[in-house]
Amino acid sequence: MDYQEIFQIVFWGNTVEQYLYALLLFLLTFSVLKFFAGFALSKLEIIAQKTKTDIDDMLVSAVMKIRWPLYFSLALYVSTNILALHGLVQKVVWYLLIILLTFEGIRFLQSIVEYGAEKAVSNKKDKATVEIISSIIRILLWAIAVILILANLGYNVSSLIAGLGIGGIAIALAIQNILKDIFTAFSIYLDKPFQIGDFIAVGDISGTVKKIGLKSTRIESLSGEEIIISNNTLTSSKIHNYKKMKKRRIAFTLGLAYETKTTSLKQIPKIAKEIFAKIKLTELSRIHFKEFGDFSLNFEVVYFVDSNEYDKYMDIQQKVNLAFKSAFEKKGIEFAYPTQTVFVRKTE
């Protein structure tokens, strides 16, 4: 038997020669695709980096993310088209190609949408906005991908949805809270009650916002631990956003001893004005002899700090406290502390 006869031997409806042609076509197609993915795209990447716009960089980067299984599937589909295969085998090859094409196509579109979302945000440092938009669009894209795959596999999507019946209601109830958190995240994006980096307080929880996700927000407390709060809980609670505060108002009380003379008490407002005049970023609002306390004569001091930073406020408050202590020592004015005076009546 010569090689011509061997080439004409039939296996599963195709000759050996046809199988060899199919193999060569597969290797050629796969090699061309891999060459394009490797050499050609790397050259395009170098060219894109030299241009002023970054759109071409994004497009090349998105194409370079396509994985080898898609090239394998494309080569397999092209090469098997010249063979007479069983209907089931042809369907498997076709379905594999459809699934991988849809998967990589959605990933490519996702890269484009994320790029557009970043460009659309006015404040490029607002990472939370980009993350929320990207997450919502990612969910929508993958939902569309599932529908496209089912439709190409021959399923009637409308009938499937209609046939869910009670099961569909159960699923809807199960994902109700998830959807609520997603829409809440979208409302956070639109309303912007807080952003990443803001110092907020919610109830007895306070800290710096580190990440705003679709379902929850992560806050780093002053003591360092990470606190995770659902977006629904956040938006339904009273939020104090200290980052948006332009001026911080501080009120505190100076308690002076009852033995302090009236002439010394009258000097307190003047002393306060001199102190705040020397401390930067402060503005004295008022100082008044407020009340006779249980063991002290109380002056209420109110001033403003031109900063929303907590550390800056504490540094200034420390300077204020030390300045009052130093000034009172020079004037001989004493601070009060809890005391009790006992009067003993002498009887004859």
In angstroms, the CA 101 to CA 106 distance is 8
Q: Does one domain contain both 9 and 34?
A: yes
Q: Which of 241, 263, 285 is the last residue of a domain?
A: 241
Residue 340 lies in a domain: no
In a domain, 341, yes or no: no
Quick check: helix, strand or coil at residue 285? strand
Give the domain range for residue 22.
Answer: 3-174
- Is 343 domain-assigned? no
Does residue 126 belong to any structural domain of this protein? yes
Is residue 128, in this structure, part of any structural domain at all? yes
Same domain for 160 and 91: yes
> What CA–CA distances, in Å, run from 187 to 43, 130, 133, 212, 231?
43, 14, 11, 12, 10
Three-state secondary-structure class, residue 296: coil
Q: Are residues 254 and 325 in the same domain?
A: yes
| Same domain as 105, residue 232 | no
Same domain, 147 and 106: yes
What's the total number of domains in the chain? Answer: 3
In contact, 303 and 244? CB cutoff 8 Å: no
Q: What stretches in the chain show pLDDT beneath 70?
A: 1-19, 37-41, 43-50, 52-58, 60-62, 64-65, 82-87, 89, 117-133, 152-179, 181-182, 340-343, 346-348
Q: What angle do CA 18, 22, 28 make, to 5 degrees?
A: 145
**Is 20 inside any structural domain?**
yes
Over residues 13-61, the pLDDT tens digits come to: 666 666 677 778 778 877 877 777 666 667 666 666 667 666 666 676 6
Q: Domain holding 286: CATH number?
A: 3.30.70.100
Q: What percent of the chain has pLDDT over 90?
A: 23
* Six token digits for residue 298: 């109380």
User: Are 8 and 124 within one domain?
Assistant: yes
pLDDT of residue 301: 96
Q: Both 51 and 137 in a single domain?
A: yes
- Summarised one tens digit per residue, pLDDT across range 271-321 is 999 999 999 999 999 999 999 998 899 999 999 999 888 888 999 999 999
DSSP summary character for residue 335 = B
